[in-house]
Amino acid sequence: SQQGEEDPQALSIQEGENATMNCSYKTSINNLQWYRQNSGRGLVHLILIRSNEREKHSGRLRVTLDTSKKSSSLLITASRAADTASYFCATDAKDAGNMLTFGGGTRLMVKP
Amino acid sequence: GAVVSQHPSRVICKSGTSVKIECRSLDFQATTMFWYRQFPKQSLMLMATSNEGSKATYEQGVEKDKFLINHASLTLSTLTVTSAHPEDSSFYICSARIGGVHQPQHFGDGTRLSIL
């Protein structure tokens, strides 16, 4: 079963607005990663946040991690139509042999 | 540029056919690669971990004889769907990681398999 749960499952916003996606997980982790997937394509890595980090930024992306609540959030600021995609969190759990466990994903639609 | 190449991107074939999907790491050696399956509008489900020079590790519920994995070199892993049936139609994606524990995985572009 998937370790991560994401909400919302789908999100529709207007261009220029911010989009926030949340992810929860169950076990101890080495790190948590966020990926983006355009329809019918592979996944593209966005940000990796280590278990001892609380916040990380990359351009318009901001990721937070709360290990006490076993949760993470991805914020996309000033969204663009090109941000339309599915976003997945994935956990690299301790003692899991390098494998990633993915959340259910959030389908983001940004309307121009 | 892409660091993991997956081929083919799309396969349409008749029921009973065996289909081979290749996953290549470009410019780096991957002792471990991962194979995922994804149904429409769903997340990725890990099928197996492909280990160079040894047997793949399959996740619970994945049939080893159905999904044959071969990792014969440090840059190539193959997934063969044997005697494919319509229920095997899905999107298959491979990935590999460069470096240690705090490195992301790099994904191929996926293979859309449609069994008629």
Cβ contacts of B49 on chain A, cutoff 8 Å:
97-99
Strand-pair partners of A73: A22, A64
- CA-based end-to-end distance of chain B: 34
Distance CA B41, CA A9 (A): 10
How many Cβ contacts (< 8 angstroms) between chains A and B?
60
Instruction: Yes or no: say if B69 and B52 are a contact pair by the CB < 8 Å rule.
Output: no
Instruction: Yes or no: say if B58 and B2 are a contact pair by the CB < 8 Å rule.
Output: no
Cβ contacts of A41 on chain B, cutoff 8 Å:
109-110
Please say if the pLDDT value at position B89 is more than 70. yes
* B100 band by pLDDT with thresholds 50, 70 and 90: confident
* B2 band by pLDDT with thresholds 50, 70 and 90: low
* B114 band by pLDDT with thresholds 50, 70 and 90: very high
Q: How far is A102 from chain B (nearest CA, A)?
A: 6
CB contact under 8 A, B104 and A41: no
Instruction: Yes or no: say if A61 and A45 are a contact pair by the CB < 8 Å rule.
Output: no
Q: What is the pLDDT of residue A4?
A: 66
pLDDT tens track for A10-42? 999 999 999 999 999 998 999 999 999 999 899
Cβ contacts of A42 on chain B, cutoff 8 Å:
4, 6, 93, 107-110
Going by C-beta distance under 8 Å and a sequence separation of 6 or more, which residues neighbour residue A47? A33, A34, A56, A58, A61, A63, A74
Q: What is the pLDDT of residue A2?
A: 45
CB contact under 8 A, A42 and B105: no
Chain B residue with the nearest C-alpha to that of A36: B107
Distance CA A98, CA B32 (A): 9
Q: How far is B75 from chain A (nearest CA, A)?
A: 18
Which parts of chain A sit beneath pLDDT 50?
1-2
Triad A28, A61, A111: Cα angle to 5° = 120
CB contact under 8 A, B43 and A2: yes
Percent of chain B whose pLDDT exceeds 90: 73
